[in-house]
Amino acid sequence: MEDIIVEEWPEMESPTMVLGLTGWMDGGHVSTGTVGYLRERLAARPFAEIDPMDFYMFHFPVSSIPISVYTQDGKTVVAPVNPMEFAAVFRPHTKIEHGVIEELIYPTNDFWCAEESSLVLFSGEEPHIRWGSYCDCIFSIADEMGVRDIYFVGSVASPIPHTREPRITASVADESLKESMEGLEVGFGEYEGPASITTCLAYHSTALELSMRTLVAEVPHYPFLDMPTYPPSILKVTSMLNDLLGLGLDLSDLEASAATAREKLNRLMEENESFRDLVEKLEEAYEYQETSADEQLLRRLIDSIDLEGDAGQTED
């Protein structure tokens, strides 16, 4: 396809494909973080990419000043947002030094191969437009490489505290694929609402006789914390892929990162009473919740706590 740039086709026999995407289902960097970890540990090499030029809106037209709605001191505040700051979110990043354009960075959508593990890895940015063509690019690579099984790994904010093990919810477009996941610690939840590009991929994969499974891990949502990466959930989905695909990876480094993240959050919990109250309520909810994702419950629990100021920040 004209939207695909191939450096050199690797020689692999019926590899499995694992997808990671920024955007809708990458909270805690679980989606891109998992694929990035596998890419590094398996010494994968890039072999193809999707040309980004026709899949993103680099200029978002603003007909009126956008607004931001938030609460402050118990009151709802409606404030204007600078149109240039709003539009800047959609634009490529550039670097100019002494009047010379040094670089222009577009969204990246790269395919990597790990020959010894018979694995094709894809890491990209969910497209704004032309979803059908974007899906066709991924399906074309799968067809050329002889891929029959595809896994997407992602995350969703849920009423889970960091003191409990993240759960994984699976979804498939073909009912028969659920049988292949028997014995795994996964749930099959209910959802109705805005869809992601991964749902689009899974839905259309059946027509191509591809087996696509979506594995979505929980991540805690602490509104007062800057927690861009959540290693425990990355560890959870990586461990499942490690077993499913027989990768044989030693995950002790990832286990150490997960333990460090939890220790930092435990210290914050000891220092902040409001945070501790929220965690305790989340622990109670975790015990009786049969399914992982429950946005309404999450909102109710957060609203029930008097959150005063920032509890702090946590990093990898």
pLDDT tens, 224-271?
A: 787 889 999 999 999 999 999 999 999 999 999 999 999 999 999 899
Asked if residue 89 and residue 115 are part of one domain, the reply reads no
Asked if residue 230 and residue 198 are part of one domain, the reply reads yes
225 three-state secondary structure: strand
Q: What is the pLDDT of residue 2?
A: 86
Structure tokens at 132: 């059908």
Q: pTM value?
A: 0.85
Per the domain annotation, does 193 fall within a domain? yes
The answer to whether the CB of 196 falls within 8 A of the CB of 219 is: no
Residue 154, class by beta-carbon neighbours within 10 Å (0-12 exposed, 13-18 middle, 19+ buried)? buried
User: What is the bridge-based pairing of β-strands 16-22 and 67-72?
Assistant: unpaired
Asked if residue 162 and residue 83 are part of one domain, the reply reads no
Q: What is the pLDDT of residue 31?
A: 96
Asked if residue 129 and residue 75 are part of one domain, the reply reads no
Alpha-carbon span 15 to 21, nearest angstrom: 20
State which amino acid sits at residue 97: E
Asked if residue 280 and residue 230 are part of one domain, the reply reads yes
- Maximum pairwise Cα distance, the chain: 61
CB atoms within 10 A of CB 36: 16
Q: Hey, which of 182-191, 247-256, 271-280 has the most confident mean pLDDT?
A: 247-256
pLDDT digits (tens, 9 = 90+) for 76-121: 666 766 666 767 778 889 999 999 999 999 999 999 999 999 999 9
- The per-residue pLDDT of the chain, averaged, comes to 87
CB atoms within 10 A of CB 83: 15
Task: Identify the domain containing residue 263 by its residue range.
Answer: 4-56+106-313
Per the domain annotation, does 62 fall within a domain? no
pLDDT digits (tens, 9 = 90+) for 39-64: 999 999 999 999 999 999 887 776 66
Residue (of 240, 259, 29) closest to 123 by Cα position: 29
DSSP code at position 178: G
Q: What is the mean pLDDT of residues 270-277?
A: 89
Alpha-carbon span 11 to 29, nearest angstrom: 30
User: What is the bridge-based pairing of β-strands 211-220 and 149-158?
Assistant: parallel
Residue (of 217, 233, 220, 229) closest to 302 by Cα position: 220
